[in-house]
Amino acid sequence: MSEPIAHPAGAQDAVRSIRAHHAQLARGLADRVRSVQDAVRDGGDTHAARRGLVAFLDEELMPHAAAEERTLYAVGRAAADGRLLVEAMTEEHRVLAGQLAVLREQSEPIALAATAAQIESLFGVHLYKENELLLPLLLDTGADLRALLHDTHHLLEHR
């Protein structure tokens, strides 16, 4: 029988904080995607809805992704069982960035709604991997998640 893994102090609090922030990002994204879809369906101002979604992605989601690559992902990549997971998740960031580039130029309403939905769908799968695969992996390695969370916040504050 294996010994239970001793986690650094505050690790579970850090996990809860990270997951709560992920939920906040998911809600923010869902709200903006819904605004795009509503504008398309109702014949509303799709340009304003697109601008709101692009601004959220530029100002919130993509900086968060970049900061996590430099903190959580760096530790996950170094773990024996984490390299492939982190490579796949980093590729998802690149796909999100590509979809954001498409979204910036999107003017046709149906294509705009479809691209917005694709971004939301990919981000949902991505968050599952972070919350349910990467964070437990980091806990199992004994990583100091409090320090990694602090470093992530520091990067976001000083971008």
CB burial of 62-77 (b: ≥16 within 10 Å; e: otherwise) equals eebbbbbbebbbebbb
* Token digits of residue 35: 């605004």
Q: Is 116 exposed, middle or buried (0-12, 13-18, 19+ CB in 10 A)?
A: buried
Model confidence pLDDT, tens digit, residues 9-61? 678 999 999 999 999 999 999 999 999 999 999 999 999 999 999 999 999 99
Give CA–CA dist 103/131, Å, rounded. Answer: 26
Domains parsed from the chain with CATH numbers: 11-157 (1.20.120)
pLDDT for res 37:
98
> CB–CB of 138/75 below 8 Å?
yes
Model confidence pLDDT, tens digit, residues 148-158? 888 888 888 88
